[in-house]
Amino acid sequence: MAKLSSLLYIVFFVLCVITHYSSNTVTVYNVISFGAKANGIGDSTPAFINAWAAASCASTGSTAIKVPKGRYVLGSSAFKGDCKSFDITFQIEGTLVAPADYGVLGKAKIWLSFEGVSHVTIVGGALDAKGQSLWACKLAASKNCPSGATTLSFTDSNNIRIKGLLSQNSQMFHIVLKIIAAGDSPNTDGIHVQLSSNVAITKSRIRTGDDCISIGPGTKDLWIERVECGPGHGISIGMKKAVFTGTQNGFRIKSWARPSNGFVQRVRFLGAVMNNVQNPILIIKIIAPTTSTALLRNEDSHFSSVTFQKWKTVERKLLEKVSGIKISDVIYRGIRGTSATQTAIKFYCSSKKTCTGIRLENVNLTCLDQVAQSSCTNAIGRTLGSIQPNGCL
């Protein structure tokens, strides 16, 4: 789902706080002092930019940018590092809102961009990207809709902490803590990570219209734990102690039908609960924007009732258009709950590059009023412990 480049696409619109006084060793800047308007009408973008400059470059010690209660309209903004302060905290008590015209942000690609920053902490507050009108434009299949903006992006940054932030109505990607967008809002991935290493996503609740968490190229050492996902399309990569409710997918690994020397390996899905999930466990290696998805969708949508015979038909029709990604060493352990479709486990890999090292351990997935099944093609692996439905590896 993710095509925008940036280290971490976050939809928590974390913005500044500004006042000018000192408390112990922390210098605090209040955005009001820089001309920010809390009435939800005037443009507060210059005030936030100036507050950031003061907190990051004019101070050498720890600083805090304070956003008092109220609604602050902000346009696309870039906050850059390489200044003096080594520790900046955003204390957000109000709500940061996007301009009423979705085109203002939609053409900018990123609402709030942090570039080359270090030791930045974001605490509290809410971000409202007001994406509903853009979603409506996309759902109406209009050709004049902009792509939309990611709410928050960190690039070339390290030691970032986010706590207690609510992000809602994102135009595109948005991330962490509490993430809310309508279940049919297009391309609103909750959290997207790419070109990143040593990333941890924990204790988050994500409700959105696309992937709860999606992973792009160049991602290493990603840890996801205690995430609640739903509605949404599921999670694209390994994690621990997740809960999925009413989602299209649970644990899904997918790759597009195009040549590649890339790989997905050493993925772990540990200790998850599935509540009425259409595809609790899914690997799908032939995904094309038109042909394969059209063939694989049915009334349940998104590969919910794919059979082995249908899969072989797809392979024949796509001929050479199979994914070149190599998938190996994937473990599913301690996963339980209910599937909304009869086939709870689906491993559909290409004949040219099989999936290897797939392992199911103590998996218990049932389906109401039907006997749950599993389906595999070109997948090699083994099962350990109690497995329901019976493994097809």
How far is 113 from 80, CA to CA, in rounded Å? 8
The count of C-alpha atoms lying within 13 angstroms of the C-alpha of 253, restricted to the half-sphere facing its C-beta, is 28
Which secondary-structure segment (H or E) carries 168?
strand 166-168
Residue 333 tokens read as: 């352990």
Residue 119 bears catalytic tag: no
Q: Are 4 and 172 in contact (CB under 8 A)?
A: yes
Q: H or E stretch including 118?
A: strand 118-123
Residue pair 111/76 in contact (Cβ under 8 Å)? The answer is yes
Q: What angle do CA 190, 191, 193 make, to 5 degrees?
A: 155
Of these residues, 128, 189, 211, 233, which one is catalytic?
233
Which residues, 6+ apart, have CB-to-CB distance to 292 below 8 Å? 257, 286, 314, 317, 318, 321
| Catalytic residue flag (residue 82) | no
d(CA 75, CA 54): 19
β partners of residue 227: 204
DSSP assignments along 66-116, one per residue: EE-SSEEE--SEEEE--SS-SEEEEEE-SEEE--SSHHHHHTTSEEEEEES
Give the bridge partners for 214, in sequence order.
192
Q: Which two tokens stand for residue 193?
A: 């990570």
What is the bridge-based pairing of β-strands 239-240 and 249-256? Answer: unpaired
- What stretches of 257-302 adopt beta strand conformation (E)? 263-277, 279-287
Distance CA 280, CA 160 (A): 32
Per the residue annotation, which of 128, 189, 192, 210 is the catalytic one? 210
Q: How open is the CA angle 314-361-177, to the nearest 5 degrees?
A: 80
The closest of 342, 365, 355 to 244, measured between CA atoms, is 365
Just list the catalytic residues. Answer: 210, 233
